Chain A
């Protein structure tokens, strides 16, 4: 990287290089080790411990928490519901987000920047605030109910409900789907669509054979960015679902802070299995979608 000065031995220089690398790496690497890796290891430790009667933890190690997880429908159902909500949110975001990203790409440059900016603002805005906005709209005396009454319908209990949770999740995550898709589409060479048409493919066929396969990286990135936070969240389901929608995140929150008494070992096991399941799903998704066209 640098030119060796004649009076410097390569060894001394090598040592200096190593020192420099160590100084660059150390602060961040140590921080991540102590406050990211170590915490995960400790969660693992907790998951094998025994819950005490007052919410404390007794350091007797066994597989009880994992056995409880497998044995009770409550936990299996929470996994199932959370993954299902995650899939629904991801698919709807993709169905709405892909055409939107395409529309942005096809717009005139000036208009395109504005459209992009309009997606960036919610992207950077507090999730809590955006969820809260839906509480206002859907509330019992809120706008939608006013509208329903104006049209001659009866008032509906719009939230808390599973539907409200889904709307809130789509609303919160849509920008995370649109941006990677846009990034992918902006890199796409539209001459390829002309080439495809030139060779006799109609628009629909050109889309499925050319544009979609070549923008799969954006689809994968967007889906992962939407799916993971959706499956793990508890704010939206707590605020818009109330006690009616019990997802994994809500369960975890209760096990650690509220249930009487808290059960940290079980919560730790639940979190670890959750992380494991999610990782497996994401890896399978990556493999199947990127295998043929690397």
Chain B
């Protein structure tokens, strides 16, 4: 989402440790401790024997074992993964096509489209969530009064909503990779006798693939981590991981939640590694 470049120029080589430098270092280390202490404590306390899960009283894997038997939690996890997977596929396809259209064509309404694509990123998430809730209830009400068919919000309303906010992020990432794309490569393809379809599948797509994968990973992470939109667009019958965790946390801190949080953390870290790896490949 944020393009992080390698520093353009050599920073000053004057490495005298002045007071300013030391303060910079101190701030950095304190900040990193601030960022990581809670994470470390969370992981640590998923192994504690303390039933309140807030202090260290001894080591146990009990909470993970219980988690494995917790069908509600497992169900929620499967649902969440399914939502993230489907939402990622749809938003990656739509987003990549949109990115191609925006980078390659000049058309009427292009500026408007540009603005529309940025809106889901900058608009407060809760407004989008409430709008979707209002929309589904309005649409289902209309459908019922017209045809008598009764629909309720379910896993598909969540997927539809996730796609709606993921598309914009995919577009941003793929457009960034299209910006550095050498158009002469496509011309060379045409010059060698390839038709537009062949050029797309054999030249363009492979070259922008790191960007597409980067966008897909971002969409997957966003969908997996999303709470607010899931919370408002999921029906009462469906169970999603963040919503389930939120519900339990509201009631009490338990070591089981520490355990599931630790697992979620591991998944996030894996995704960071993957996205960094993809970015390395691109450079």
Query: A residues touching B (Cβ–Cβ < 8 Å)?
Result: 1-3, 20-21, 23-25, 27-29, 31-32, 35-40, 42-43, 45-46, 96, 99-100, 102-106, 109, 112, 115-130, 132-137, 139, 141-143, 146, 171, 174-175, 179-180, 182-183, 185-191, 193-194, 203, 221, 224, 228-229, 231-235, 238-239, 249, 252-253, 256-257, 264, 267-268, 271-272, 274-275, 278, 282
Chain A residues near B94: list those with CB within 8 A. 27-28, 31
A-B residue pairs, 8 tightest by C-beta: A232-B124, A39-B135, A133-B38, A39-B131, A28-B94, A24-B101, A28-B98, A35-B164
Residue from B27, B93, B253 within 8 A of A27 (CB atoms): B93
Chain B residues near A188: list those with CB within 8 A. 7-9
Q: B34: nearest residue on chain A (CB-CB)?
A: A171
- Contacts A129-B264, A141-B52; A171 near B119 (Cβ below 8 A): no
Q: Determine how close the nearest CB of chain B comes to the CB of A112; give it in whole angstroms.
A: 8
B271 touches A136 (CB 8 A): no
A28 touches B97 (CB 8 A): yes
B205 near A: Cβ within 8 Å? Answer: no
Q: B28: nearest residue on chain A (CB-CB)?
A: A103
B225 near A: Cβ within 8 Å? Answer: yes
B98 touches A224 (CB 8 A): no
Chain A residues near B31: list those with CB within 8 A. 96, 100, 174
B257 near A: Cβ within 8 Å? Answer: yes
- Contacts A36-B164, A103-B28; A136 near B35 (Cβ below 8 A): no
Residue from B7, B32, B54, B132 within 8 A of A141 (CB atoms): B54
- Contacts A21-B101, A171-B35, A256-B133; A275 near B7 (Cβ below 8 A): no
Q: Determine how close the nearest CB of chain A comes to the CB of B145; give it in whole angstroms.
A: 11
Among residues 30 to 64 in chain B, which have CB atoms less than 8 Å away from a CB atom of chain A? 31-32, 34-39, 41-42, 45, 52-55
A271 touches B225 (CB 8 A): no
- What are 16 A-B pairs with beta-carbon distances under 8 A? A25-B98, A32-B116, A36-B165, A40-B131, A43-B134, A105-B11, A118-B36, A126-B225, A129-B245, A132-B261, A186-B8, A188-B8, A189-B8, A233-B126, A264-B134, A278-B124
A120 touches B276 (CB 8 A): yes
Q: Determine how close the nearest CB of chain A comes to the CB of B227; give it in whole angstroms.
A: 5
A29 touches B98 (CB 8 A): yes
B134 touches A190 (CB 8 A): no
B2 touches A21 (CB 8 A): no
Question: 18 extra interchain contacts, Cβ-Cβ under 8 A, other than A35-B164, A143-B54, A235-B227?
Answer: A2-B190, A24-B97, A32-B120, A38-B135, A43-B134, A124-B269, A126-B227, A126-B261, A130-B39, A134-B38, A139-B52, A139-B253, A143-B41, A182-B4, A185-B7, A187-B8, A190-B10, A228-B124
Q: In the complex, A38 Cα to B134 Cα: how many Å? A: 10
B148 near A: Cβ within 8 Å? Answer: no
B272 touches A224 (CB 8 A): no
Q: In the complex, A287 Cα to B106 Cα: how many Å? A: 28
B10 touches A133 (CB 8 A): no
Chain A residues near B20: list those with CB within 8 A. 203
Residue from A32, A191, A256, A267 within 8 A of B167 (CB atoms): A32
User: Interface code B14-33, partner A: CB below 8 Å = 1, 0 otherwise?
Assistant: 00000010011101100110
Chain B CB count within 10 A is highest, among A2, A175, A203, A224, for: A2
Q: A253: nearest residue on chain B (CB-CB)?
A: B126
Q: A267: nearest residue on chain B (CB-CB)?
A: B130
Q: In the complex, A103 Cα to B37 Cα: how many Å? A: 20
Chain B residues near A104: list those with CB within 8 A. 28
Q: Determine how close the nearest CB of chain B comes to the CB of A270; give it in whole angstroms.
A: 9
Chain A residues near B7: list those with CB within 8 A. 105, 112, 185-188
- Contacts A36-B119, A100-B31, A136-B258; A129 near B42 (Cβ below 8 A): yes
B12 touches A193 (CB 8 A): yes
Q: In the complex, A95 Cα to B124 Cα: how many Å? A: 23
A24 touches B98 (CB 8 A): yes
B268 touches A121 (CB 8 A): yes
A249 touches B27 (CB 8 A): no
B127 touches A128 (CB 8 A): no
Q: B8: nearest residue on chain A (CB-CB)?
A: A187
B4 touches A136 (CB 8 A): no
Q: Determine how close the nearest CB of chain B comes to the CB of A39; give it in whole angstroms.
A: 4
Q: In the complex, A19 Cα to B35 Cα: how many Å? A: 50
Q: In the complex, A152 Cα to B165 Cα: how many Å? A: 50
Q: A38: nearest residue on chain B (CB-CB)?
A: B135
Q: In the complex, A2 Cα to B187 Cα: how many Å? A: 8
